[in-house]
Chains A and B, each alone.
Chain A
Amino acid sequence: MKHQTFFWFILPTALAMLLFIAMPIVSVVTQSVHTPHDAILEVVENCDPFGCKQETTVNVEATQALRDEKPLGKWVGLQVYLDRGHLAVNEVAIAWKESESIGDFFSELNNLPFYRAMGFTLTYTFTVTPLLIILGFIIAVAVNSLHKHLKGLVIFFSLLPMIVTPLIGSLILFWMVDSRGVVGSALQWLMSDPDLSLKASTTLTWITLIIYGIWHSAPFAFVVFYAGLQTLPTETLESARIDGASRWQQIRYVVIPHLMPLVTFVALIQLMDNFRVFEPVVGFSAEAHATSLSWIIFNDLGGDTQLLSSAATTSVLTIIGISILLSPVLVRTWRDFKEK
């Protein structure tokens, strides 16, 4: 295809991505190094029969004029990055100096909003991803051994947790595990603890969110692995059987190596997707015990006072995190491309 034809074909989509993905990233970075203007103060002298007093008031007009003129705010450099709401350099330094043990240091860190969110986001990402791969694999192997007519039905129901809107899925589960909901009451009965509430404890909230994450994403792994199983080389399996391989050995030495490229694919995709965990925190109203990076941005943007520069700073930090997770994917794509 000629360069010129290519250009006209690609232009609309390139323009859309440039304007609404590339530009916002630039905009986020710019916003993160600015803060809103301080109010302009002026000193007015009020005189009355009893004497004169100096009063400091906000000059509303001048402040508004300045804000209209430069809506971005004033340049502060990396100040927002280093403040208590984000990287909290001073607080971390103090915690490092004053805490007596590593555990003590981490519990200090846990009081800082950014590190708290980071802690949950990373824990969620790195527990959910391996577990959903294992669950997806087991479902795929089990479904593959089913009768043909049953497979379609099982696949239909298996797709539901993944297809359903994350917020809706988490709400449905949230109502069930509520201490008055069916699963919540069942757990109270099982543990014989009438006050048991999954919402009340941090550990239990985390476990609930992680279970939700696995429930939501396992179908994806299942479908991909199931498709992989359809292309399983029957001769290899056959010869392994003739050599006396047990069922477990067949899975271990034939099936798993065959699916390994798909496992990497699912793992890379899911690491990126789980890192942006957001809807479940809203759906489970879990913000008291578990916040994620995306949730912090959402929280800063919403509400009465929009903390745009704070949200922008967290966004930049999230993008940096995503790039670290993304780098293996890029390396892999680059390698594939070179091989071609």
Chain B
Amino acid sequence: MSSKANRTPAGLKLLTNGFIVIWLILAAFPFLWTFWGSFKVELDFFSIADWTSALTGDRTLITYGSAFTGAGYEGAWVQEEFWKAVINTAIVCVCVVCISLTLGTLGGYALSRSAYRYTFWILIIALIFRAMPPITLVSGYMLPFFEWNLWGVLPTTIVVLVAINQPFTLWMLHSFFQKIPKDLDESAKVDGCTQFQAFRYVIIPVMWPGVVTTGLFSFLLAYNDFAVTSMLLAKENQTMIPKIASFLGTTQTEGNVMFAVAAVVSATAPLFVLVMIFQKQIVGGLTAGAVKG
């Protein structure tokens, strides 16, 4: 490929590099801008008088005596008790990832090792379920959950998210397990292991790369969900995303918009770290399904 790169004409090179720069600005600038602006007052964030004041923070300087202020964060985390939502999100995400990986590895392993025709139909049904928009399922939950008094609490939401997560987890782990040679557990069985022992002692030690990737996507699904969490959680049990949405309802008074901005930045930060650490796994996971299909 290097010989090709050497022969790239300067004009074309300029064009592609220019394009990359524009794309990078489009992809990254909104986040940097919002992060910077979250330390300002609303009049600077929405720069009515002069857009440069969003950079220099003129009004923030007048109000707080410094060009940066943590007032938005203080308002969101302390006054509006965003920390509760953060804890709820942490509980939901950890539980969803652990439970759905446990169920998913068992199921995915079985699907990859069974040669019968019904495995195909189970995978097809899972694919159909994967296509269902979660919000359509939510309208099915509401009435029974109200009737049985299950509505509004975290465990219900966790179970629902795990279930919605299953089809995807199953597909992904199924394709990972297929890459692990069958001889490995077959020979363990020849040596006298039961199927479960073969799974426990032979497969589990080598499956972690696939499980980590799948776990990442389960985490993202639970973390990013808005439809399920906003409809199934009572106000005091809300996770971050519905909490941010509820900030928006009360944005008319000054300062509240900044609470929402601060909360948005707080909720984006973990995702940044996640992408930074697991970039390779995320790219690998996205392409795993594609290259196969």
**Contacting pair A167 B114 (CB below 8 A):** no
Tell me if B140 and A27 are in contact (CB < 8 A): yes
Q: Which residues of B contact A171 (CB under 8 A)?
A: 244, 248, 260, 264
B202 at the interface (CB under 8 A from A): no
Decide: A157 and B27 in contact? CB cutoff 8 A. yes
A337 at the interface (CB under 8 A from B): yes
Residue of B nearest to A336 (CB): B293
Question: Among A81-89, A110-118, A124-132, A274-282, which stretch is in contact with chain B?
Answer: A274-282
Give CA–CA (A331, B72) in the complex, Å.
52
| Residue in A176, A178, A272, A297 whose CB lies within 8 Å of B135 | A297
Known A-B contacts A17-B129, A156-B276, A165-B241; A227 and B27 likewise in contact (beta carbons under 8 Å): no
Residue of B nearest to A150 (CB): B20
Interface contact A333-B47, CB-CB below 8 Å: no
Which residue on chain A has the smallest CB distance to residue B261?
A175
Which of A19, A143, A176 is within 8 Å of B163, CB to CB?
A: A19
Which segment, of B61-69, B80-88, B103-111, B206-214, faces chain A? B103-111
Decide yes or no: A276 and B133 within 8 Å by CB, A155-B279, A172-B31 being known contacts. Answer: yes
**B110, chain A: closest CB distance, angstroms:** 3
Tell me, in angstroms, the Cα distance from A178 to B33 when the chains sit together. Answer: 14
The reply to whether A297 and B139 contact each other, CB–CB distance below 8 Å, is yes
- Tell me if A252 is interfacial: C-beta within 8 Å of chain B: no
A308 interface hit (Cβ, 8 Å): yes
Is B237 part of the contact surface with A, judged by Cβ < 8 Å? no
Residues of B in contact (CB 8 Å), total: 100
Q: Does B190 contact A (CB under 8 A)?
A: no
Contact pick for B20, options A143, A169, A182, A322, CB 8 Å: A143
**Within 8 Å of chain B (Cβ to Cβ): is A159?**
yes
Answer yes or no: B78 CB below 8 A from chain A CBs.
no
Whether, in the assembled complex, A122 has its beta carbon less than 8 Å from a beta carbon of chain B, the answer is: no
Is there contact, CB below 8 Å, between B163 and A272? no
| Contact among B20, B167, B170, B264 for A146, CB-based, below 8 A | B20
Q: How far is the CB of B128 from chain A (nearest CB, A)?
A: 7
Within 8 A of B (CB), among A1-56: 1-3, 5-6, 9-10, 12-14, 16-17, 19-28, 31
Question: With A and B bound together, what is the CA distance between A20 and B226 in angstroms?
Answer: 17
- Please state if A13 and B143 are interface contacts (CB–CB under 8 Å): no
Cβ of B224 and Cβ of A312 under 8 Å apart? no
Asked whether B120 is an interface residue with its Cβ less than 8 Å from the other chain, the reply is yes
**Stretch of A95-103, A196-204, A260-268 with 4 or more beta carbons under 8 angstroms from chain B:** A260-268
Tell whether A1 pairs with B136 under 8 Å between CB atoms, given A163-B282, A182-B54.
no
Contact A28 B127, beta carbon cutoff 8 Å: no
The answer to whether the Cβ of A208 comes within 8 Å of any Cβ in the partner chain is no
Given the interface contacts A160-B27, A164-B271, does A152 sit within 8 Å of B140 by beta carbon? no
Contacts of B16 on A, CB cut-off 8 Å? 141-142, 145-146
User: Which residues of B are found within 8 Å of A178, using beta-carbon distances?
Assistant: 46
> Is the Cβ of A224 less than 8 Å from the Cβ of B139?
no
Instruction: Choose among A20, A166, A219, A278 the residue with the greatest number of B CB atoms under 10 Å from its CB.
Output: A20
**How near does chain A come to B66, taking the closest CB pair, in angstroms?**
22
Q: Is the CB of A6 within 8 A of B110?
A: yes
Task: Mark interface residues in A130-164 (1 if CB within 8 Å of B CB, else 0).
Answer: 00000000110111011000001011111111011
The answer to whether B33 touches A182 (Cβ under 8 A) is yes
Contact of A175 with B45 in the complex, beta carbons under 8 Å: yes
- Within 8 Å by CB of A31, from B26, B140, B287, lies B140
User: Of B23, B126, B135, which is within 8 A of A298 by CB?
Assistant: B135
Q: Is the CB of B139 within 8 A of A31?
A: yes
The 0/1 profile, CB within 8 Å of B marked 1, for residues 288-323 of chain A is 000000100110111000101001101110110011
Say yes or no: is A207 at the interface (Cβ < 8 Å to chain B).
no
- Measured between alpha carbons, how far is A279 from B132 in the docked complex, in Å? 16
Quick check: A154 and B140 within 8 Å, CB to CB? no
Q: Which of B141, B195, B293 has the most CB of A within 10 A?
A: B293
A181 CB within 8 Å of chain B: yes
- In the complex, 25 of the A-B residue pairs with CB atoms within 8 angstroms, ordered by the A residue number, are A1-B114, A13-B107, A13-B166, A19-B163, A20-B164, A28-B140, A138-B19, A142-B23, A145-B16, A157-B24, A160-B28, A164-B271, A181-B46, A182-B51, A185-B51, A224-B287, A228-B291, A272-B131, A275-B133, A282-B226, A285-B248, A298-B231, A308-B142, A326-B128, A333-B127
Q: Which residues of A contact B (CB under 8 A)?
A: 1-3, 5-6, 9-10, 12-14, 16-17, 19-28, 31, 71-72, 138-139, 141-143, 145-146, 152, 154-161, 163-169, 171-173, 175-176, 178, 180-182, 185-186, 215, 219-220, 223-224, 227-228, 231, 234, 247, 261-262, 265-266, 272, 275-276, 278-279, 282, 285, 294, 297-298, 300-302, 306, 308, 311-312, 314-316, 318-319, 322-323, 325-326, 329-330, 332-334, 336-337
In addition to A1-B114, A9-B106, 9 A-B residue pairs with Cβ atoms within 8 Å of each other are: A22-B129, A28-B136, A28-B139, A156-B275, A158-B24, A169-B30, A176-B33, A227-B287, A318-B133
